[in-house]
Amino acid sequence: MQTHEAQATKTSAAPGHETQPWAFTHLAPAPEALRKILARHRKEEGSLIPVLQEVQRRYGYISREHMAYIARELRRPLSEVFGVASFYAQFYLAPRGKNMIRVCLGTACHVRGGQKILDAFSRTLGIQPGSTTPDKEFSLERVACLGACGLAPVAMINAETHGRLTPEKVEALLASYRAASGAAAPVPPERNGQGADAAR
């Protein structure tokens, strides 16, 4: 977290902002990159979603401080900014791992064992869908369709599509990504405190 953001003071509602437990009234000036994004869109009608998209592209996710800056600069209620950011699946409100894994549970993948593939990723990584490994190497999420139904069951890791997966292939696949990034082997779920019991 950048220093100027850390200086923001938690307080109650600011004028023009709804009460939120994390509303900020004493925000330091926004980081330069964020100021430029806001300046580009400030006068646009319907600028909130484009701003959120640009902030996510720049920072990888949208933090609470980002939302507070956006609300202040666009003169929108903080609750509205949070509501939009949390409504759309395209927005991430927490940092993601270096490698994004999307496992398809759409109809074609579901009937061909997509849940078993998701379980295999979850078990091997020791995390539940929607979370990130402690070493920040992998984030795991389920999606509805990846547009490669003929290859079901399918998962994407970053921009690469992997089709006709089996649970046995998942471990080897993850090992190859870890080897490519020089990351350590995964911590067994029973030792990292995030057991994937529910996924077994």
When asked if residue 109 is in the footprint of ligand FES (CB under 6 A), the reply is yes
86-105: which residues touch ligand FES (CB under 6 A)? 104
Q: Which is nearer to ligand FES, 104 or 174 (CB)?
A: 104
**Backbone torsions φ then ψ of 155, nearest 5 degrees:** -140, 150
Q: How far is the CB of 141 from ligand FES (least distance, A)?
A: 14
x/- letters, 114..143, toward ligand FES (CB under 6 A) = ------------------------------
When asked if residue 108 is in the footprint of ligand FES (CB under 6 A), the reply is yes
Of the candidates 13, 49, 74, 145, which one interacts with ligand FES according to CB under 6 A? 145
Of the candidates 154, 157, 165, 173, which one interacts with ligand FES according to CB under 6 A? 154
| Residue count, binding to ligand FES (CB under 6 A) | 12
**Backbone torsions φ then ψ of 106, nearest 5 degrees:** -65, 175
Q: How far is the CB of 118 from ligand FES (least distance, A)?
A: 11
What is the rounded distance in angstroms from the CA atom of residue 47 to the CA atom of residue 75? 11
When asked if residue 106 is in the footprint of ligand FES (CB under 6 A), the reply is yes
What is the rounded distance in angstroms from the CA atom of residue 24 to the CA atom of residue 167? 46
Nearest residue to 101 via CA among 168, 191, 178, 49? 178
Long-range Cβ contacts of 116-120 (<8 Å, 24+ apart): 116/153, 116/167, 117/153, 117/155, 117/165, 117/166, 117/167, 117/170, 118/142, 118/199, 119/167, 119/196, 119/199, 119/200, 120/167, 120/170, 120/171
When asked if residue 149 is in the footprint of ligand FES (CB under 6 A), the reply is yes
Binding site for ligand FES (CB under 6 A): 104, 106-109, 145-149, 152, 154
